[in-house]
Amino acid sequence: MKFRRSERLIDMTNYLLEHPRQLVSLTVFSERYKSAKSSISEDLAIIKETFEQRGIGTLQTVSGAAGGVKFQIKVTDEEARPFITELCEQIASPDRLLPGGYLYMTDILGDPSIVKRVGRLFASAFAETQIDVVMTVATKGISLAYAVASYLNVPVVIVRRDSKVTEGSTVSINYVSGSTKRIQTMLLSKRSLAEGSKVLIVDDFMKAGGTVNGMVSMLEEFKAHVAGIAVLVEAEKTEERLVDDYLSLVRLSDVDEKGKKIKVSEGNYFKK
Amino acid sequence: MKFRRSERLIDMTNYLLEHPRQLVSLTVFSERYKSAKSSISEDLAIIKETFEQRGIGTLQTVSGAAGGVKFQIKVTDEEARPFITELCEQIASPDRLLPGGYLYMTDILGDPSIVKRVGRLFASAFAETQIDVVMTVATKGISLAYAVASYLNVPVVIVRRDSKVTEGSTVSINYVSGSTKRIQTMLLSKRSLAEGSKVLIVDDFMKAGGTVNGMVSMLEEFKAHVAGIAVLVEAEKTEERLVDDYLSLVRLSDVDEKGKKIKVSEGNYFKK
């Protein structure tokens, strides 16, 4: 049975969205739809144009015997800007204020529609970077890490604060929390990260950067490399920032607990 | 500018996949593409046919003034069966055995391509059920919960074992672990779950069901209701199962630590 072009376009769109950053050979599609490669190439040209026009992503064509097509998330500024503005407004809501000047963000981190869009932005920002693994620390960053990883098509590894029998043997490090200056411990399962991996570190919140810095030290223990650092919210007022090169969507400039005011602005996303 | 049918099909496919279980009115599409509703209806008929034929999901049309179209994940048995078989093989690999007869599953739970497919299966199984929220307990079930929630288009709430300042005030309960009979504590942020919510409980592993049972008790505290229970792996050999009605993909029948053998079989997915 042959497939009509319309059916091919629908199914190929779904297939490409499900396999980001993966080189799909034209043969895969030509066998899947029992269609000539020339027809498949025409289909892909239409998909590429629409994906780019509608801000879905890019389609890169690799020619030659080992060639094929690769879909990559690419977020346009027209999508990113209103989303970041909306995020800022949500985060600035005074009822997020908790005792001690902390912010309640659990609802944002539990909302798949927000988390997916954050994941899209991070994946888009690191589209040209080689990344083998996304790393985060339990618990709050996990949904973000997982969303980014699914758009980058790489696994997630989760650093923990406590040891668990189901993790097998672990590597443990001590690190200094940047804001409280307390010594803390983090652990990572030995078999979860291969030597030489290029790792994107993702977290929901960065103050002085002690935790992120801890993850960087953890990577050294595994002879792995930092490919990038991405945080949803960074706090601006910190005496000493331990991490320099990172991406952030939202910047928390000031939290006035008494006056119940939270001041936020755009992070460095558009400056990167 | 008008849009050609091919462009509409590609963009609508992406749009529907991004908005599962959400009623999208034809007006949204007809404005988005500056096309007549009759053309949109024809497009949707083609998408519906292809989605159903290729096992992507179903498209439900609601007619009338408040009408529209709703995409829902629906996994065919032809997709589910080989995937569950593959999962069983992966889980039965002897190098997963940890001291004490525990299994290492961190790699599986960190692989987005697996996690997404588990999410598809769970979302498909509960396609006809009203679900407002997905709940899990930190840490290992989070990726699964998030995947299901994103296909069901509902938020995730995460029960924790320890209190954290960024959660605000919490409700805490004690529960008895089914297998070790030890008393444990779990907490949930007070504002994370609304009264009356219908909740799908998701976890990676269920032995006697103590933890799942704890989450059920937690729901009672919030005057919320269990809409369903889904676990990736259930252990068969348990003296007393605390939970009756659940869905599982894989059943762990026997772990022979000395002989380095893990016996697994299909869970109850196809019996549901």
Residue A184 sits at φ, ψ, to 5 deg, of -130, 170
Rounded to whole angstroms, how far apart are CA atoms B61 and B162? 45
Amino acid sitting at position B58 = T
In this predicted structure, the answer to whether residue B165 has a pLDDT above a threshold of 70 is yes
Residues of B in contact with A11 (CB under 8 A): 50, 54, 56
pLDDT of residue B218: 98
Cβ pair A155:B7 closer than 8 A = no
Q: Comparing C-alpha atoms, which of B133, B10, B116, B28 is closest to residue B73?
A: B116
Cβ pair B6:A5 closer than 8 A = yes
- The answer to whether B77 contacts chain A (CB < 8 Å) is no
* Closest residue, chain A, to B116 (C-alpha): A150
Cβ pair B155:A116 closer than 8 A = no
In this predicted structure, the answer to whether residue B1 has a pLDDT above a threshold of 60 is no
pLDDT of residue B3: 76
Walk across the sheet containing B68-72 and list its strands: B23-24, B68-72, B58-62
Cβ pair B98:A157 closer than 8 A = no
Its pTM stands at: 0.96
pLDDT digits 0-9 by tens, A97-107: 998 888 999 99
Q: Which of A7, A47, A156 has the CB atom closest to B10's CB atom?
A: A47
User: Is-contact A133 A157, C-beta < 8 A?
Assistant: yes
pLDDT digits 0-9 by tens, A87-126: 999 999 999 999 888 899 999 999 999 999 999 999 999 9
Beta bridge partners of A198: A225
* Closest residue, chain A, to B188 (C-alpha): A106
In this predicted structure, the answer to whether residue B120 has a pLDDT above a threshold of 90 is yes
Kindly tell me the sign of the dihedral angle through the C-alpha atoms of B13, A10, A152, B104. Answer: positive
Give A237's pLDDT tier (boundaries 50, 70, 90). Answer: confident
Residue tagged 């043969």 (tokens) = A27
Give A36's pLDDT tier (boundaries 50, 70, 90). Answer: very high
Cα–chain-centroid distance for residue A92? 23
* Closest residue, chain A, to B189 (C-alpha): A106
Taking only residues 192 to 211 of chain B, the set having a beta carbon closer than 8 angstroms to any beta carbon of chain A reads 192
pLDDT of residue A1: 55
**CA–CA distance from B89 to each of A154, B215, B216, B234 (Å)?**
21, 30, 31, 15
pLDDT digits 0-9 by tens, A134-156: 999 999 999 999 999 999 999 99
pLDDT of residue A257: 87
* Closest residue, chain B, to A42 (C-alpha): B6
Taking only residues 219 to 248 of chain A, the set having a beta carbon closer than 8 angstroms to any beta carbon of chain B reads none
**CA–CA distance from A100 to each of A103, A121, A139 (Å)?**
9, 30, 20
Cβ neighbourhood burial of A271 (10 Å; 0-12, 13-18, 19+): exposed
User: Is-contact B185 B172, C-beta < 8 A?
Assistant: yes
Domains observed in chain A: 5-73 (1.10.10.10), 77-271 (3.40.50.2020)
Q: Could you give the angle at the alpha carbon of B88 between the alpha carbons of B86 and B90, nearest 5°?
A: 70
Cβ pair A54:B14 closer than 8 A = yes
Give B124's pLDDT tier (boundaries 50, 70, 90). Answer: very high
Q: Please state, as a whole number, how many other Cβ atoms lie within 10 Å of the Cβ of residue B85.
A: 12
The two counts, helices (H) then strands (E), for chain A are 8, 11
Residues of B in contact with A74 (CB under 8 A): none
Q: Comparing C-alpha atoms, which of B77, B152, B142 is closest to residue B122?
A: B152
Give A2's pLDDT tier (boundaries 50, 70, 90). Answer: low
Q: Which of B17, B116, B139 has the CB atom closest to A158's CB atom?
A: B139
Cβ pair A46:B10 closer than 8 A = yes
Q: Give the mean pLDDT of A217-239.
A: 93
Q: Which of A11, A155, A165 has the CB atom closest to B110's CB atom?
A: A155
Give B56's pLDDT tier (boundaries 50, 70, 90). Answer: very high
pLDDT of residue B77: 95
- The better pLDDT of the pair A21, A179 is held by A21
- The answer to whether B63 contacts chain A (CB < 8 Å) is no
Q: Give the mean pLDDT of A220-231.
A: 98
Q: What is the mean pLDDT of chain A?
A: 94
User: Is-contact A159 A213, C-beta < 8 A?
Assistant: no
Measure B218 CA to nearest chain A CA, in Å: 18
Taking only residues 151 to 170 of chain A, the set having a beta carbon closer than 8 angstroms to any beta carbon of chain B reads 153-158, 160, 164-168
Q: What is the mean pLDDT of chain B?
A: 94
In this predicted structure, the answer to whether residue B96 has a pLDDT above a threshold of 60 is yes
The lowest-confidence range among A52-56, A174-178, B14-18 is A174-178
Q: Comparing C-alpha atoms, which of A71, A66, A67, A59 is closest to residue A22?
A: A71
B103: its two tokens: 């299994």
Cβ pair A138:B143 closer than 8 A = no
Cβ pair A142:B143 closer than 8 A = yes
Q: Comparing C-alpha atoms, which of B149, B141, B110, B103 is closest to residue B251?
A: B103
pLDDT of residue B247: 98
ipTM over 0.90: yes
User: Is-contact B223 B216, C-beta < 8 A?
Assistant: no
Cβ pair A10:B47 closer than 8 A = yes
pLDDT digits 0-9 by tens, B239-253: 678 888 999 999 999
Give B162's pLDDT tier (boundaries 50, 70, 90). Answer: confident
pLDDT of residue B166: 87
- The answer to whether A47 contacts chain B (CB < 8 Å) is yes
pLDDT of residue A20: 96
Q: Which of A19, A34, A50 to mutate to test the interface with B (most CBs of B within 10 A)?
A: A50
Q: Which of B47, B100, B146 has the CB atom closest to A143's CB atom?
A: B146
pLDDT of residue A155: 98
In this predicted structure, the answer to whether residue B161 has a pLDDT above a threshold of 70 is yes
Residues 6+ apart with CB under 8 A from B145: B134, B135, B136, B156, B158, B202
pLDDT of residue A88: 98
Q: Give the mean pLDDT of A181-206.
A: 96
Q: Which of B110, B139, B153 has the CB atom closest to A157's CB atom?
A: B110
* DSSP for A70-105, written as a single string: EEE----HHHHHHHHHHHHHHHT-GGGB-TTS-B--
Cβ pair B191:A113 closer than 8 A = no
Percent of chain B clearing pLDDT 70 (strictly above):
99
Taking only residues 101 to 130 of chain A, the set having a beta carbon closer than 8 angstroms to any beta carbon of chain B reads 102-107, 110-113, 115-116
- The answer to whether A10 contacts chain B (CB < 8 Å) is yes
Q: Give the mean pLDDT of B16-21.
A: 96
Give A178's pLDDT tier (boundaries 50, 70, 90). Answer: confident
Measure A114 CA to nearest chain B CA, in Å: 10
